[in-house]
């Protein structure tokens, strides 16, 4: 059985989540838009899950819009907030996920001014620069992730929201803040009501839920144009027959994440500290974002003399699954845009390896990983 250290790419489904999904996978459950009894049973299940997902993120059920995953949520937020608007300015953090980055960049073609928010070498927002940037002109939407998928660095979303709001007051035309919380959800507490973000993206499969389902949280007063037209589901915001089993699974996973959050975080943090201590014992190791607050389960590092892809493959042969960056950009031969965004040199970025831990990892697996890493180092040196 391989050691799985890639929970930020995706998590296994919690067996209790599968149990909750089973009746909706196999059973005679209908299309939630149908009026008959099968349809209404599906509708009830979808609404119960909506409340569970809302509770995880400190949101109201009415603020939850179902999507096919984090990528669609980010697209719906950025495309939906800009479509039909007079083009002004869109900002996104230099270390955002490709779903935010690529969507924002595509807006250039529609006349928008698109700028990155500067991120420092620790992976944190350069606040004075951000404030000055906000003062330079009007803003439609800014995107800042709750926590980075590669380094695990946690952003102060509340502070960003405060600055965006203050800049809006000066200009009497407030910009919106999108918070991509795909990696943060289930790992650190989220409070959509209090953090000040207008939109928040979530994904089920990063928190032991099923793939193919996600949500966008939206404050009631935020106007969005739909991304998927047709059918009128999700109050016209997102057409398409609901993925009932997936949504039910997301709800169950959210419930487990909410009730088990502290225990999971403590478990992962203890393992990560064990890993960090071991890595510090090896020469030539750089841990990224180490001085910043980070997700308890994430550690990204580089080992001098190793290219990330090569180390990933070597570890894979030893039965250890890690990532060299985000899964989406794996195999593209490009260094992590996250590390480049933090201003780190290319050769160091090329060396990046991400370990992301989960609830089933053990101290023995950490120890095994450290042994294998030491062996690989020795072999390379020989």
Query: Which string of x and - marks every residue 54-93 that binds other proteins (by CB under 8 A)?
Result: -------------xxxxxx-xx--------x---------
The distance of closest approach from Cβ of residue 112 to other proteins in the complex, given in angstroms and rounded to an integer, is 14
Q: Is 378 left (phi over 0), alpha (psi -120 to 50) or beta?
A: alpha
The distance of closest approach from Cβ of residue 361 to other proteins in the complex, given in angstroms and rounded to an integer, is 12
Distances from the Cα of 233 to the Cα of 140, 241, 301, 349, angstroms = 26, 7, 44, 43
Residues within window 232-251 making contact with other proteins, judged by CB under 8 A:
232-233, 239-246
The distance of closest approach from Cβ of residue 15 to other proteins in the complex, given in angstroms and rounded to an integer, is 6
Closer Cβ to other proteins, 12 or 168, answer by number: 12
Closer Cβ to other proteins, 86 or 382, answer by number: 86
The distance of closest approach from Cβ of residue 35 to other proteins in the complex, given in angstroms and rounded to an integer, is 5
112 touching other proteins, by CB under 8 A: no
The distance of closest approach from Cβ of residue 204 to other proteins in the complex, given in angstroms and rounded to an integer, is 10
Residues within window 303-342 making contact with other proteins, judged by CB under 8 A:
309, 312-313, 315-316, 319, 321-324, 326-332
31 touching other proteins, by CB under 8 A: yes
Alpha carbons within 13 A on the beta-carbon side of 168: 15
Q: Are 209 and 60 in contact (CB under 8 A)?
A: no
Q: Is the dihedral of CA 219, 225, 228, 229 positive or negative?
A: positive
Note if 328 is an active site residue.
Answer: yes
d(CA 256, CA 15): 11
213 touching other proteins, by CB under 8 A: yes
Name 84's Cβ contacts closer than 8 Å, sequence gap at least 6: 225
With H, G, I as helix, E, B as strand and everything else as coil, classify residue 230: coil
Residues within window 354-373 making contact with other proteins, judged by CB under 8 A:
360
Q: What is the DSSP letter of 14?
A: P
Interface segment toward other proteins; rule CB under 8 A; list 31-39, 116-124, 257-265, 294-302: 31-39
Closer Cβ to other proteins, 95 or 243, answer by number: 243
Residues within window 127-156 making contact with other proteins, judged by CB under 8 A:
none
d(CA 94, CA 143): 10
d(CA 27, CA 289): 47
d(CA 206, CA 217): 16
d(CA 41, CA 24): 10
User: Which active-site residues does the annotation give?
Assistant: 328
């Amino acid at each position: 059985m391989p050691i799985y250290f890639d929970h930020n790419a995706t998590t296994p489904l919690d067996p209790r989540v599968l149990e909750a999904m089973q009746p909706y996978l196999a059973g005679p459950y209908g299309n939630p838009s149908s009026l008959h009894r099968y349809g209404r049973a599906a509708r009830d299940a979808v609404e119960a899950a909506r409340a569970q997902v809302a509770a995880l993120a400190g949101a109201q059920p009415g603020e939850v819009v179902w999507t096919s995953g984090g990528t669609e949520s980010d697209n719906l937020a950025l495309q939906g907030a800009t479509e039909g608007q007079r083009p002004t300015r869109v900002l996104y953090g230099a270390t955002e996920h490709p779903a935010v980055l690529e969507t924002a960049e595509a807006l250039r073609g529609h006349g928008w001014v698109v700028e990155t928010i500067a991120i420092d070498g620790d992976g944190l927002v350069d606040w004075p620069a951000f404030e000055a940037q906000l003062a330079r002109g009007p803003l439609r939407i800014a995107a800042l992730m709750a926590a980075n998928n590669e380094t695990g660095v946690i952003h102060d979303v509340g502070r960003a929201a405060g600055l965006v709001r203050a800049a809006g007051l000066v200009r009497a035309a407030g910009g919106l803040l999108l918070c991509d919380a795909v990696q943060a959800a289930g790992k650190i507490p989220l409070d959509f009501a209090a953090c000040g973000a207008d939109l928040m993206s979530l994904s089920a499969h990063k928190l032991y839920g099923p793939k193919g389902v996600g949500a966008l949280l939206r404050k009631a007063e935020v106007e969005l144009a739909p991304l998927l037209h047709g059918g009128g589901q999700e109050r016209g915001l997102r057409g398409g027959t609901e993925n009932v089993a997936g949504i039910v699974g997301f709800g169950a996973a959210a419930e487990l994440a909410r009730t088990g959050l502290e225990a999971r975080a403590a478990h992962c943090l203890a393992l990560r500290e064990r890993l960090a201590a071991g890595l510090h014992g090896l020469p030539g190791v750089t841990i990224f974002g180490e001085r910043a607050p980070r997700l308890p389960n994430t550690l990204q590092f580089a080992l001098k003399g190793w290219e990330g892809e090569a180390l990933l493959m070597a570890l894979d042969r030893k039965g250890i699954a890690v990532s060299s960056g985000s899964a989406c950009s794996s195999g593209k031969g490009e260094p992590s845009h996250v590390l480049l965004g933090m201003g780190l040199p290319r050769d160091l970025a090329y060396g990046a390896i991400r370990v992301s831990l989960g609830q089933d990892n053990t101290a023995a697996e950490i120890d095994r990983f450290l042994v294998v890493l030491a062996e690989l180092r020795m072999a390379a040196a020989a």
